[in-house]
Amino acid sequence: MQKTCRNLMAPLFAASILMSTLALAGCDQDGPAEEVGEKIDESINDAKRAVKDAAD
């Protein structure tokens, strides 16, 4: 019984590491919607800074 469990653990562990790596690799690439969202965020932050500077 323990030999069977040991024989299954290594492939399961390797598969889980592989799936985690693939999942994280997919997060590296920004799509067009993400790029537009970042530009909108930057514009909002620039506007906030301009209002704050004008108030000073």
- The model's pTM: 0.47
pLDDT higher for 31 or 35? Answer: 35
Task: State the pLDDT at residue 40.
Answer: 93
Q: How many domains in the chain?
A: 1
Over residues 4-14, the pLDDT tens digits come to: 666 777 788 88
Q: How confident is the model at residue 56 (pLDDT cuts 50, 70, 90)?
A: confident
Q: CA of 52: how far to CAs of 39, 45, 46, 48, 49, in Å?
A: 20, 11, 10, 6, 5
CA proximity to 40, closest of 28, 56, 32: 32
Over residues 19-33, the pLDDT tens digits come to: 888 777 666 667 788
Domain range for 11: 2-55
Both tokens of 32, joined, read 């067009």
Q: How confident is the model at residue 44 (pLDDT cuts 50, 70, 90)?
A: very high
